[in-house]
Structure 1
Amino acid sequence: MNFAIVGCGFIAKKHASAIENIEGAKLVAVCDKVDTAMEFYATTYEAATYNELSEMLSHEDIDIVCICTPSGFHANLAVEVAEAGKHIIVEKPIAMTLEDSKKMLASAKEYRVKLAVVHPNRYRPVVQELKKLLDSGKLGTISHANCIVNWNRGQEYYDQAPWRGTKQFDGGVLMNQAIHNLDLLLWFMGTPAEVFSMEATRLRKIEAEDVSVGVVRFESGALASIQASTTVYPQNFEESITLFGEHGTVKIGGTNALYFEHLEVAEMEEKETIELKEKVKNDPWGTPGHQWILEDMVHAIQENREPAVTGEDGEMALKLVLKMYESANNNIQLKY
């Protein structure tokens, strides 16, 4: 499979590295408005360079296009890629509005191409193990959950580019940093029924929020609390998800939700618990999530199936963020 990348900023290098590690995959083209941004890919991967997406899409050998631009540009680019008959992998969030995400999904369906969204945290070893526990029923009925992302993003982070921290192209801590954790919360807990949220811009000079606190009631009846910030001093403090079940309590945590911080399940003996915690601890990152996402797209095309993280999955995470924004802006509890 031949890949192309549009948008050659920081995250594009993760895509290029993933492509390099996938058997039979090759990065053949990149696209960016800035010539110097593409030099690394031309030199390292011998990728053809283009300033315009339309020109790159005329490259007949391209099978899959990775969209790595600022989030506010995702929708129009994805539609153009779909119209050219190329499969799409888009960085999170899928888009900035539900109108745009629906436009992307409709275009992918119309032109019969596959659309995957980069939510790579699903592939972290500890997350995979927790999902297995949850799906096995060993935790019993889930009463509630905690979802926390308390990180540091200094003002210099936002000052790197004029689009950072804007509501049109980037969003705040929910849309940009915490959306990965929100995706996991939805993957574990299902569809929300009600949302209430409060947010603020406390320390960073940005348009969007730098701190947010919310609660969700799911269709199952379970509750969840959500806390996210980029204001923590002096560095990332915690990324975690805790599930409180009828027969088990599990917390995955650390600064990047990589480990079992608490694992107590009625059906698990002490030896099994220790072995599982050690297994994760010995290889906390596993195969990089971007590689999983990109390689899965290759297999999805070959097997004519949906990608593991679909456009609809990406839209679910986006919808939760937008509902939390709407609740906070209007100070109301919202039906989902």
Structure 2
Amino acid sequence: MKQLNFSAIGTGGIFKTIQFMINKNKRAKLACVVDINEESAKKWGEKLNVPHCCSTDEFYEEHCEDIDAVYVATPHFTHTAMLDDAIDNNINVFIEKPLTTNLEDAVRIVNKAEKAGVKIGVDFQNRYNPQAVNMARAAQEGYLGKIMYGTVNIPWKRTQKYYDVAWRSKWDTAGGGTLITHAIHMIDILIWALGNPISVTGKFATRKHEIEVEDVGMGIIEFESGAIAQVLSSAANDPGAGTHLSIFGEKGNVIFGGSILSQTRWQRIKRKRYPLNIKGLPLHYYKIVDAFISYVMDNKPFNATGRDALPITAVIEAIYKSSRTGKEVKIDTSIF
């Protein structure tokens, strides 16, 4: 069986989970690790018994010949350069969110990748969470009836220590605060369920932490279907609470969330299931990695492509713009 050879760029945080999922998949292997932190690169290279290097220049010059895809888990502000480098070297990309920190770069990257025949996947793992899949598919096919509105509520607690990782606290390096870092996953599922957004009104503020970016953000989104949705994301709550995404239709409602996003409540309608048909570990991260492998190797449909990330990027950017200008922001759906 042919395997998809990955190189990881960035070995902190979520990398530990994704490298495990790659190496647990019989159709893939992690063949190289890259990190500007020499100690971390060496540690993981030795642990996984693979080559390691401390710069992407070194990787592309010396180690990329047999690599099919890079997994990118680096700070937000580096994503555009990481994507450009991979596309220029004709290597597919599986990248942590956000795709990029602004819509202009995101559109350019997606168009460039498609023209080059390079596939981009974004780690929106809830698109392979069975509970989220059931809710989104039910809304898409009209099982809930005409959608009236949706809500996203993310009342999280983040300490100052969380933002003392310097790049997270600044606009230039993070691209934003709780909206682009935390709410992005639920905005993703909301858009997946309800379709293209056409206008946004938003407000953000910094209420608690010593940071440039927002720790409270709100948005009202209008969709082509006529549905509207409210988004609230906070990193300033104490105590924090669980995330919830709710969709209210004329025939019934679905409430998705919980502390580990593993619960849905179906109101006035019977629960409906849409099997993913992915074998292996019953974990969202495993499923999205496996689906990305199939996307690259077998050209099978993938739920979280670079193009799928465009409306998400557009909405978050529009919330920021609306807050700064005090005006509603229209979204050009032709770029999606």
TM-score, normalised to structure 2's length?
Answer: 0.90
Aligned match of 1:301:
296
Aligned match of 1:46:
49
Q: Give 1:240's match in structure 2, choosing from 238, 241, 244.
A: 244
Aligned length: 319
Aligned match of 2:320:
325
1:200 Cα shift?
Answer: 0.5
Would you say the 8 A contact 1:153–1:230 is kept in 2? Answer: yes
Asked if residue 31 in structure 1 is aligned to residue 34 in structure 2, the reply is yes
Q: Say which is worse superposed, 37-46 or 146-155, in terms of deviation.
A: 37-46
1:102 Cα shift?
Answer: 2.3
Report Cα offsets for 1:27-74 as digits up to 9, x if no partner: 111111111122342132112111121221242111110111001100
Aligned match of 2:276:
none
Whole-Å Cα distance in 1 between the matches of residues 77 and 181 of structure 2?
12
1:152 Cα shift?
Answer: 1.0
Q: Give 1:190's match in structure 2, choosing from 190, 195, 205.
A: 195
1:254 Cα shift?
Answer: 1.6
Q: Which runs of 5+ in 1 are unaligned?
A: 277-285
Asked if residue 150 in structure 1 is aligned to residue 155 in structure 2, the reply is yes
Whole-Å Cα distance in 1 between the matches of residues 143 and 156 of structure 2?
32
Report Cα offsets for 1:211-247 as digits up to 9, x if no partner: 012211111111111110001113x302111111111
Aligned match of 2:120:
115
Aligned match of 2:253:
249
Q: Give 2:132's match in structure 1, choosing from 127, 136, 146.
A: 127
Distance 1:99 1:306, change over 3 A: farther
1:136 Cα shift?
Answer: 4.1
> What root-mean-square deviation, in Å, do the aligned CA atoms of Structure 1 and Structure 2 show?
1.9
Whole-Å Cα distance in 1 between the matches of residues 148 and 23 of structure 2?
43
TM-score, normalised to structure 1's length?
Answer: 0.90
Q: Percentage identity across aligned positions?
A: 29
Asked if residue 10 in structure 1 is aligned to residue 10 in structure 2, the reply is no
Would you say the 8 A contact 1:18–1:290 is kept in 2? Answer: yes
Distance 1:301 1:227, change over 3 A: same
Aligned match of 1:335:
330
Distance 1:98 1:112, change over 3 A: same
Would you say the 8 A contact 2:127–2:303 is kept in 1? Answer: no
Aligned match of 1:172:
177
Report Cα offsets for 1:90-117 as digits up to 9, x if no partner: 1100001122212321331232211111
Would you say the 8 A contact 1:74–1:94 is kept in 2? Answer: yes
Would you say the 8 A contact 2:155–2:241 is kept in 1? Answer: yes
Q: Which runs of 5+ in 2 are unaligned?
A: 274-280, 332-336
Would you say the 8 A contact 2:140–2:194 is kept in 1? Answer: no
Whole-Å Cα distance in 2 between the matches of residues 99 and 334 of structure 1?
16
* Letter matched to residue 330 of structure 2: K
Q: Say which is worse superposed, 53-62 or 242-251, in terms of deviation.
A: 53-62
Aligned match of 1:314:
309
Whole-Å Cα distance in 2 between the matches of residues 263 and 83 of structure 1?
46
Q: Give 1:224's match in structure 2, choosing from 225, 229, 234.
A: 229
* Letter matched to residue 167 of structure 1: W
Whole-Å Cα distance in 2 between the matches of residues 131 and 330 of structure 1?
32
